[in-house]
Each structure stands twice: as C-alpha cells, then as structure tokens.
Amino acid sequence: MKRINLSAQTGHSLIIVGETIDNCSSYLPDSHIVIISDKSVRNLYGERFPKGDIIEIGEGEKIKTLTTMHYIYNEMIQYETDRSSFVLGIGGGIVCDITGFAASTFMRGIHFGFVASTLLAQVDASIGGKNGVNVQGFKNMVGVFQQPKFAICDPVMLKTLSDSDYRCGLAEIVKHAIISDEHLFEYIENNISAISQRDPVVLERLITDSVIIKSEIVRQDETETGNRKKLNFGHTFGHAIEKLTQLPHGQAVSIGMVMASKFACDRGMLDSVDLQRIITLLKRLNLPVSLDISSHKIVDAMKKDKKRKSDVIFTVLPQAIGQVNVVECPISLLYQLNALGGS
C-alpha cells in the first residue's frame, strides 16, 4: 500500500493506493455520511458501502450537468445534510467530478472524499481537486478547485472494468509519462502483456507513479495558472473530439495526444522518433490514434475550450518523451494543420 500526501491551498488530500473499499470507513469522520454513486457501481459494491444515505445518479457523460446537480442538492436537503456531514463519492471519473462539485458548493462547501472504482478515476479524476460539470456538451465549463480529504485507489476494483473503460485509464497514464517521466513511459513499453492482463503489481506501480506525478504538479500550481496546464496534454484536442463524436474520454485524449505530438513534430519541436514511439505505444495499448473528421470542425469546437484566451489557445506540446511545453497557439494556425484530422 502506498500513501501520497497532497497539500494545496484548498486543503490537504491523502491518496491511498492499494487500500480497499471495505476499509474506507476508517477514513470517514464520525458524522452523517452521504454517498453518491451510480447504478452499476452500486450493484457491484453496494453491500460493501459504509453506512450512509445513498444518492444514486445516472451514468455516462450526458448526466454530468447542472440538472443532475439540482437533483443531488434536493436529495441532500431531504437527507438533512449540513456542514458537519461528509460526502463520499464511490465510482468512476464522472461520479468523482459530480461529487466534488456538489460537496464544494452545497452550503458553501462541506468535506468530501472518493473511492475511485475505475483506472481513469484512480490516476486522474479523483486526484487534484478539479471538480465540475459540463454545459451544452462542453467539458467542465462550470466548476471549482477543492481538494478531497482522501482518495482510495484499489487496483482490485479494476477487475470489473470493461475493456473500453480500462483503456481510457491507460491513456491518462501514458499522458503522465509523456509530460513528466520517460522511465514510466519505458516501463509501460516493457510491460504491455502484464498491463493487458491487469496484473495488480504492475497496476499498483502505474497508479502510484501517476498519482505522484499529478500530485507534485498540483502542489506547485493548484489553480492551473502555470505548470498544471501541462496536465492538459492531449485534452484541448480531446475535449473537442468528445464534443463532436461522443468518444469515451480516454480514447479522445489518445487521439488528442497524437495530434498535439504531430503538431509539435511539424513545428520542429519533437523528434520524429519520439512521435513514432508515442503512436506505437498507444496502438499497442489498443487505443485509437487517428480520426476521420474535418479539422475545421475540431478547431471550431476547440474555440469554446476554457483554455482559450482571445485569439489563442493554450496548447501543450511535447519536446521529448518526459518533457512538454505550454504554447500559446494562434487559432488561425490550427485551421491550417493537416495533423488535426490525419491518421
């Protein structure tokens, strides 16, 4: 079991890799507990939930809306939730985002924590304190920064994941390797078979390394004014792809990472050998690397991204595996890129 401490302006967060849902009660306060989860996770693990009032929400990106928040607020009022209560999100990335946003805004903020049930949630959504919902299909347009009290990441829970959801989490791990750790990238290259078989020892290493990378970046820049923007590698393109195609988040990010890498290679920032390593690794993990869609449509959607400033978009571009830069990219230049829609 690994314990990682993340201290930031909005609070202290403890991330425990290797802990189980059965022991999550030991991290909860002696107060009223409200649990937010979805139907699938409740069916799988409901008998192992700690004692508390349960709010069940729908599934999929379509429910990550202000309408869902209104429903949760009403339920919390019915359960007489107050500032001494604690909100526990048990589920994947969408449950984590919704739980964090609900807890951070109800009565101007009450404490919350997570039991992350998917790989994507364990390495990304439950870590770092970014909580939000979508508006008109655009990702996380309304949200807050607030750290969870804890996040439990149990690799054993990943055995019940669908293959698609599992691969989505792998995309975020590759992202962390590209932005910060070439050794982690090499480890993934050398352990494809074990990763495919969901080997718990290998998974604990991947999850722990990803959590450490993200936690250190968040500690330095919690509210994304500088260094934390690096965590958006592949996401500026990826969010636009999600909006247009409804691809799962990790698959869209995989394509987005390739597009950003091709852009960097075209600009002479990234060596073609590293570009090919990135593409090859994603393919070996059965992640998509291309999309047949108009580049103009993608750029049009990117213009609604939170990372836009006037006529430029902050774009994360790799210089080498393990090193990226945040570049102010003119929107007019993006319209000229073949790399956006290419294979």
Q: How far apart are CA 25 and CA 195, in angstroms?
A: 30
pLDDT given at position 203: 96
Indicate the range of 9-13, 32-36, 90-94 predicted with least confidence: 9-13
Instruction: Please name the fold of domain 2-160.
Output: Rossmann fold (3.40.50)
User: Per residue in 200-239, pLDDT tens?
Assistant: 999 999 999 999 999 999 999 998 888 899 999 999 999 9
Q: Can you give the C-alpha Rg of the chain in angstroms?
A: 19
Look at residue 304 and tell me whether its pLDDT is greater than 80. Answer: no
pTM higher than 0.85? yes
The secondary structure of the chain in percent helix, strand, coil, rounded to multiples of 5, reads 50, 20, 25
Sorted by where each begins, the domain ranges of the chain are: 2-160, 163-197+219-334
Q: How far apart are CA 111 and CA 33, in angstroms?
A: 10
Identify the residue whose tokens are 């500026």.
236
What are the backbone angles phi and psi of residue 198, rounded to the nearest 5°?
60, 45
Q: How far apart are CA 276 and CA 7, in angstroms?
A: 37
User: Per residue in 112-146, pLDDT tens?
Assistant: 999 999 999 999 999 999 999 999 888 888 999 99
pLDDT given at position 306: 63
Q: Which CATH architecture is the domain 163-197+219-334 placed in?
A: Up-down Bundle (1.20)
- Contacts for 156 with CB less than 8 Å, ≥ 6 apart: 20, 200
User: Per residue in 57-88, pLDDT tens?
Assistant: 999 999 999 999 999 999 999 999 999 999 99
pLDDT given at position 297: 86
The separation between the first and the last C-alpha atoms of the chain, rounded to the nearest angstrom, is 41
Q: Are the C-beta atoms of residues 3 and 15 closer than 8 Å to each other?
A: yes
pLDDT given at position 140: 86
- Closest listed residue to residue 91, CA positions, set 67, 56, 66: 56
